[in-house]
Amino acid sequence: MERPIVRPAGLDFESPGRRDYYVALEHDSMWGDHLIPLTVFVGPKAQPGKGLVTFGANHGNEYEGPMAIRHLMDDVRLEDVDGRIILVPVLNVAAFRAGTRDSTLDDRVNLNRAFVDDAGKQPGLAGITHRIAAFVREAIWPHVHVVIDLHAGGLVARFHPCTSFHPIDDPVQGKRIEDTARWFGTPLVITYQNETPGLLPSEAERLGKITIGTELGWGGAVQASGVRFARHGVTAAAIHHGQLRGRIEKFAHHADGSQCMAEMVDRDCFTIAPFCGHYEPLRECGETVSKGTVIGLLHDFERIDLPPWEVRAGVDGVVIAQAWSAPVLQGQHILCTGRLRAFKM
C-alpha cells in the first residue's frame, strides 16, 4: 500500500475515500524529517468540522494505543464509513523512537504538556514536540468533534484500566462524554483534576469536543486487555457519533454491570512520597478502600533501621493507581485514590 510523505498542508481530509500518509515535520538536528503515520477515511456523509480522531503514543513508551490503532487500520472498512475517521497510531514519533515518555533524543519535552500558547511558533517552544502540538491544532482539530487519546501508565504508574475525562461544566456535553467513555468496557471510568497545563485532552475539551483519555496498561509492556478495550471503545465511539455504520454490543465490565465511576479531582486523592525510597504495594489497584487504609510501604534503605513509611489512602473509594517502579522520588504521587460515585442516568 502506498503511503506518500506529505507536509501537513498536503493532507486531504475532505475527498471521499481512504488515504494513508506519512506527515513530515522537520527534524531538529539532522537534515530530514520526523514522519507521523496517519490514515484517514472519509465517507459520503462527512460534514465540515465533524469526525473522530484517535491518537496513540502521545507518550512514547505507552504501547496499547499504537497496537489498537494498528488493528483499527484493518478493522475499518471504507464501505462502512459515513463520516470522517482519522487514525494516528504514533503521534509523538520522537518519543516513540526513543522508547521514553518524553522526546528524550530530541527536545526532551512531554507532548502532553506542550499544548500551550505559541507552541511551535516562538523560540523556546519551537522544537519537534511543540511542533507536533501545532500540527494537531492546525491540521486535525478543524475536522473532528470526537477526540480519543489512548494512554497507559508507562513507567510512571500501574493503573486499574480506565477511561478518563475532566469534569465538564455543560451537563449535556458531560453526559455525552461519560457515555462514550463507558463503551470502552474498562472496569473503571474516572474524572480527574484539570490543573495541569498543556494537556491535549484539556484543549480538546475546551474546544467543545467529546474527549476521552485512557490508562490501559503499565510497565512499558502491552496488556492484551488494554488493546481490546481501546479497539472496542474507538469502534463504539465511531458508530455512536455517526462516523461509522454498524451495531456494537456492550463489552466486558460495561456489559456485566461491574463498571465503576470515580472522581480524582482534589489533592486528598493523591498520596505523595515525602522522601526518596522503594515502594512495596500491599493492596491491588481496583480495590475498594477506606480513608487511612494502608495501601503500601515506602522503605528507606539508606536508613535501614527506620520503620517503613505507611502509604495510606487519602479518601474513601477505589485504588486507581500506584507507583509501578519500586524506586520512587521525593514528591512523586505514589498512590491515587478516587471517590466512587454513581453514573449519570
Residue 25's contacts (CB-CB under 8 Å, 6 or more residues apart) are 8, 33, 34, 36, 128, 131, 132, 135
Structural domain that includes position 138: 5-264
Q: How confident is the model at residue 123 (pLDDT cuts 50, 70, 90)?
A: confident
Do 304 and 236 lie in a common domain? no
Question: Could you tell me which residues are beta bridge partners of residue 151?
Answer: none
Nearest Cα neighbor of 219 from 298, 323, 119 is 323
Do 118 and 244 lie in a common domain? yes
Do 165 and 300 lie in a common domain? no
Question: Given this model, what pLDDT does residue 28 score?
Answer: 84
Q: pLDDT tens for residues 201-228?
A: 999 999 999 999 999 999 999 999 999 9
Do 170 and 76 lie in a common domain? yes
Question: Given this model, what pLDDT does residue 191 score?
Answer: 97
Q: pLDDT tens for residues 215-264?
A: 999 999 999 999 999 999 999 999 999 999 999 999 999 999 999 999 99
Do 276 and 253 lie in a common domain? no
85: cell is 475517521
Do 158 and 225 lie in a common domain? yes
Q: How confident is the model at residue 120 (pLDDT cuts 50, 70, 90)?
A: confident
Do 282 and 327 lie in a common domain? yes
Nearest Cα neighbor of 339 from 265, 271, 253 is 265
Do 73 and 208 lie in a common domain? yes
The dihedral through the CA atoms of 94, 199, 213, 8 has a sign that is negative
* Radius of gyration in angstroms for the set of CA atoms belonging to the chain, rounded to a whole number: 20
Place of cell 486499574: 160
Q: Please report, in angstroms and rounded to a whole number, the separation of the first and last CA atoms in the chain.
A: 45
Least confident of 123-132, 177-186, 236-245, 333-342: 123-132
Strand 327-328 versus strand 277-281 pairing type? antiparallel
CATH of the domain at 333: 2.40.50.100
Q: How confident is the model at residue 1 (pLDDT cuts 50, 70, 90)?
A: low
Q: pLDDT tens for residues 9-46?
A: 999 999 999 999 999 999 988 889 999 999 999 999 99
How many structural domains is the chain composed of?
Answer: 2
Residue 195 clears pLDDT 90, i.e. is over it: no
Please identify, among 264, 280, 302, the residue that sits at the C-terminal boundary of a domain: 264
Question: Given this model, what pLDDT does residue 2 score?
Answer: 81
Do 251 and 158 lie in a common domain? yes
Residue 266 clears pLDDT 70, i.e. is over it: yes
Measured CA to CA, the distance from residue 27 to residue 336 in angstroms comes to: 37
Residue 345 clears pLDDT 80, i.e. is over it: no
100: cell is 521514553
Do 183 and 328 lie in a common domain? no
CATH of the domain at 231: 3.40.630.10
Do 247 and 333 lie in a common domain? no
Question: Given this model, what pLDDT does residue 31 score?
Answer: 87
Do 277 and 239 lie in a common domain? no
Backbone torsions φ then ψ of 247, nearest 5 degrees: -120, 150
Identify whether the C-beta of residue 117 lies closer than 8 Å to the C-beta of residue 99.
Answer: no
Q: What is the rounded average pLDDT of the residues 104-128?
A: 93
139: cell is 491540521
Measured CA to CA, the distance from residue 59 to residue 218 in angstroms comes to: 12
Measured CA to CA, the distance from residue 24 to residue 8 in angstroms comes to: 7
Q: How confident is the model at residue 124 (pLDDT cuts 50, 70, 90)?
A: confident
Please identify, among 264, 284, 308, the residue that sits at the C-terminal boundary of a domain: 264
Please identify, among 248, 264, 280, the residue that sits at the C-terminal boundary of a domain: 264
